Structure 1
Amino acid sequence: MLRPFPNYRQTELNWLKRLPDSWGILRTKQVFRLRIQKAPKNNQMELLSIYTHIGVKPRKELEQRGNKASTTDGYWIVKKGDIISNKLLAWMGAVGVSHYVGVTSPAYDILRPIQRCNTDYYHYLFRTPTYLQQFKIRSRGIMDMRLRLYFDQLGQIPVPVPPHGEQDAIVLFLNWKTAQINKFIRNKRRFIELLKEQKQNVINQAVTRGLDPNVKLKPSGVEWIGDIPEHWEVAPLKHLASINARVLPESTDQNYTFKYFDISSVGTGCLSGEPETLRFGQAPSRARRILKRGDTILSTVRTYLKAVYYVSDEVEDWIASTGFAALTPKKAIHPPFLGLVIQSDNFINRVIRESIGVAYPAIAETKLGTLHLAYPESIEEQQAILEHIADSSKAIDQAIIRAQREIELMREYRTRLISDVVTGQVDVRGVEVPEVAEEELLALDEDTGESDDMIDDEGGMDETD
């Protein structure tokens, strides 16, 4: 069990009230200097980016998910041990240490230590909720999406300065504990993915062949759909649903407040993040799709994310990004049945194949409307299929909820542990830390899912160039 330090002294900070006696406290600008060193023309240096959940990484490892810079001439040079801060997203966690030599966009600030210190310690410190809140307080801008943290403000923030040996001990301890925690989270996420695959198999079978295993089949007339039950029909999506029927007009009251759903908010068949509450006057221009109960939204950009969600409850003031198609079913198809057909592998994989583009593949509304669906004409049969899927998936859904809760609790523990250790509320100097395998150190970041941790909206990943 971790214990406090034997002696503390009070600080003048209301958000960091005490520090161990042996620790100093300085302003960030007294620990780090802003370093601007431009890369030469035609350089071949590694392009680096900072991400809110996985820290500093070479862009080439992730370039299939985002844009690739055409040139890095004039970019900032980064050395190992530098702290990189994304001015626009620092308050969301886009700040961290680089273990690479390379270059990064001028949208970032490069902080280089003035004197010898363990910058991994400050990596952990700067990503705690306490410091992210300080970053937000000191950022400039009229709304969250426009906030920017400049070094003249970042440099004013006080930071603890433990003795160098204690910095090393803290980093060693946190590397060990976070590797353990993140391994647990990765395993739970993989378990959840297996459960989701099981549920998806149930959905795929039921919405393509129905419930009678002995039903007579007929050719659908659409190659990628294949055979379907003899009494089923096939129709293009535009005949079964209205696409983007409701939009917010430009004349909307500037103070109109709504919940905004972007692609980071939606997984496959579920919500993967909390929607942001926005006022129309501050919202991005893509916040336009009006959602109602019975609608299904489907991502039409970066379609490989398979972002699909059926709105099952009565909702008010729900607005989705124009990166979604909002599908409002017509009389021939039961709303939740349409949602599951859209979610099925057969349909969503076709959407992906019909998309155009490499980094940000997209499908046009007109093309989407021509894709065909197979369905039983009987609403009663559609309802029976829905009930079968619900019954067959009940145990799976409960297991997913339990695993997600375990992940949530472990993340809370990790956040609390890191905060307590880096602010000296507990003493790790005497803790015997086992040797951590190199591959575990390389995988300190949890197995981050792209749709919920890597991206923020159609504009790109959660980093800015």
Structure 2
Amino acid sequence: MRIKYSYYRDSSISWVGRIPKHWETKRLKYIFRIQKRIAGELGYNVLSITQHGIKVKDITSGKGQLAMDYSKYQRIYTGEFGMNHMDLLTGYVDISKYDGVISPDYRVFSQIDNQSDKNYMLRLLQMCYKQKIFFAEGQGAAQLGRWRMPSDNFKNFLFPVPPKQEQIAISQFLNYKVAKINRFVQQKRQILALYTERRKSLTRNIINSKGVKYLRLNSVAKLIERPIERLDNDIYTPIGVFNKGRGLFHKPPTLGKELGDSSFYYLKKGDVILSGQFAWEGAVALVGINDDGCVASHRYPVLDCDLSNIAPEYLFSLFTISEGHLLLDYHSRGAAGRNRPLNPRFLIKEKIPVPEISLQKELIEFVRKENELKTLINREIALVEEYKAALIAEVVTGKIDVRNYAIPDITEGETYEELEEELSIAAEDGEEYETLED
């Protein structure tokens, strides 16, 4: 059962609303000090900030976006905060676990207020990114991905601040709850990964069966373009493609006049779509019924299969195993970090194993079930991730009192039903969990 505090007062912070009566509000300049220390030399770990936190960057393999001169990067020490304040749409913030250097475009800051718990503050900062609260403090060109938070806006940003011991209790509660949710998500993804491996194993068995012919790809599938008649006020749904054969995703619906300078083409169910830039990372997908009518830019080559000779499900699956991936990698040339564009005109001249169509049909039902499982699991994951984000927001802003919550000793074996029960209890208490921006 959710427990609220006994007494509340107005916080004077629009995105927080009411806070417990004994909580304070503080500007960030009284909690943190911005640091600016230029490295001036090489020899340090190079760090980057992603939605997964601060990580050590690989600058020796040539993968990823690389800088010309790391001596101009700034120092960051273990325990300090790093923040991508230049991109308030997709940026993030984290506490560094490493000594190293980080982009001069990022913000490094350290805690100066000994009355604040570092982990509680991190939860608040990360929530302000995920809920787009920092976005209102930005300046720049958001449509170009440049929406930065000026230093003065950061320094004067108001935070709700409970007593330190209460901050620690909140951090411990959220650590337990978030770990529980993350284990559930990991288990669900493992189930899907096992099913995907079964599909890949079936594909390998099929290509090693008798009667397999090696035919040029362009004899069983063709590159196809279905240009859209772009109308300024019509709405189109562009797609993107995940790597490692994880399928495609829908970008936000966009007016024709805002699609940009790229040429766009319609997709149809059964198309096999490749990423022109990241095919070598396994960015290939099968267009499903829910993707029919979406649009792809010219950066995504599309293959239309001759159904009498090759099933789209088979061709897609072939590209996700080593035999097909080798072709995608071979025809993706380049040396500038991850910029290795695919040459589809050369790819379609390659010979591929083409089993009897009757054998390929075994994959059709398998892929259908895999897609159903993926839809179900993704829906479950989305639900608990929404719950996690809302739970964090409500706890760190004082809508729920967790001071007396007893964290169980045993944390293994949680089920989805337990999480579902928590969601039901939240709804019965009269306040459904919603994001603050809603």
Partner of 1:178: 178
Please list every run of 5 or more consecutive structure 1 residues that lacks an aligned counterpart in the other structure.
Answer: 211-216, 218-228, 438-465
Matching of residues 272-311 of structure 1 within 5 Å: 273-279=249-255, 282-283=258-259, 285=261, 288-311=264-287
Which residue identity lines up with residue 261 of structure 1 in the other structure? I
- Bigger relative CO (Cα 8 Å, ≥ 6 apart): 1
CA deviation vs aligned residue, 1:156-184 (integer Å, no higher than 9, x gap): 43211122222222222222322232222
Report the Cα offset of residue 400 of structure 1: 4.3
What residue number does 1:414 align with? 388
CA gap 1:87/1:181 in 2 versus in 1, 3 angstroms: same
3-state SS of paired residue (1:4): coil
Does residue 148 of structure 1 match 2:127?
A: no
Q: How far apart, in 2, do the equivalents of 1:150 and 1:129 lie?
A: 12
- Equivalent residue, structure 1, for 2:48: 49
Residues 287 and 167 of structure 1: CA distance in aligned 2, closer, same or farther (over 3 Å): farther
1-side partners of 2:314 and 2:199: how far apart? 17
Matching residue of 1:234: 214
Contact between 2:284 and 2:319, CA under 8 Å: does it hold in 1? yes
Q: What secondary structure, in the 3-state scheme, does the structure 2 residue paired with 1:191 have? A: helix
Aligned pairs (5 A) from 1:232-381: 233-243=213-223, 245-246=225-226, 257-264=235-242, 268=245, 270-271=247-248, 273-279=249-255, 282-283=258-259, 285=261, 288-313=264-289, 318-329=294-305, 333=309, 336=312, 339-340=315-316, 342-343=318-319, 345=321, 346-357=323-334, 359-360=337-338, 361-375=340-354
- Amino acid of the structure 1 residue aligned with 2:23: W
Query: What amino acid does structure 1 have at the position aligned with 2:343?
Result: A
CA RMSD across the alignment:
3.5
TM-aligned CA deviation for residue 51 of structure 1: 0.7
Q: What TM-score, normalized by structure 1, do the two folds share?
A: 0.74
Going from structure 1 to structure 2, the CA distance change for 1:204 and 1:256 (only over 3 Å counts) comes to farther
SS at match of 1:6: coil
Distance 1:408 1:416 in 2: 12
Query: Hey, what does 1:429 align to over in structure 2?
Result: 403
Q: Could you say which residue in structure 2 is the equivalent of 1:128? A: 127
- Alpha-carbon offset, residue 204 of structure 1: 3.9
SS at 1:87 equivalent:
coil
Q: Give the structure 2 partner of residue 96 of structure 1.
A: 94
Structure 1 SS opposite 2:253: strand
The within-5 A match list for 1:75-90 is: 75-90=73-88
What is the rounded CA distance, in whole Å, between the counterparts of 1:132 and 1:111 in structure 2? Answer: 21
Identity of aligned residues (%): 24
What does residue 71 of structure 1 align with? 69
Is contact 1:121–1:171 with CA below 8 Å preserved after alignment? yes
More off after superposition, 23-32 vs 59-68: 59-68
**Comparing 323-332 with 22-31, which one deviates more in the overlay?**
323-332
Q: 1:201: which partner in 2?
A: 201
2:39 maps to amino acid = A
User: Which of 57, 63, 66 is the aligned partner of 1:59?
Assistant: 57
Contact 2:246/2:285, CA 8 A, preserved across alignment: yes
Kindly tell me the number of residue pairs found equivalent between the two proteins: 406
Distance 1:394 1:256, change over 3 A: closer
Tell me, which stretches of 5 or more residues in structure 2 are unaligned?
A: 412-438
Amino acid corresponding to residue 71 of structure 1 in structure 2: D
Q: Is the 8 A contact 2:313 2:367 kept in 1?
A: no
Distance 1:3 1:373, change over 3 A: same
Q: Distance in 2 between matches of 1:403 and 1:48?
A: 33
Structure 1 stretch 57-66 or stretch 361-370: which is displaced more? 57-66
Deviating more after overlay: 326-335 vs 293-302: 326-335
Q: Using a 3 Å threshold, how does the CA distance of structure 1 residues 65 and 162 change in structure 2: closer, same or farther? A: farther
Deviation by residue 1:330-371 (Cα, 9 ceiling, x = unmatched): 576456356446545232333234543574244322321222
Aligned partner of 1:389 in structure 2 is 363
Q: Residues 128 and 242 (structure 1 numbering): CA distance in 2 closer, same or farther, change over 3 Å?
A: same
Q: Secondary structure at the match of 1:183?
A: helix
TM-superposed deviation, 1:121 = 1.5
- In terms of mean alpha carbon deviation, does 93-102 or 187-196 score higher? 93-102
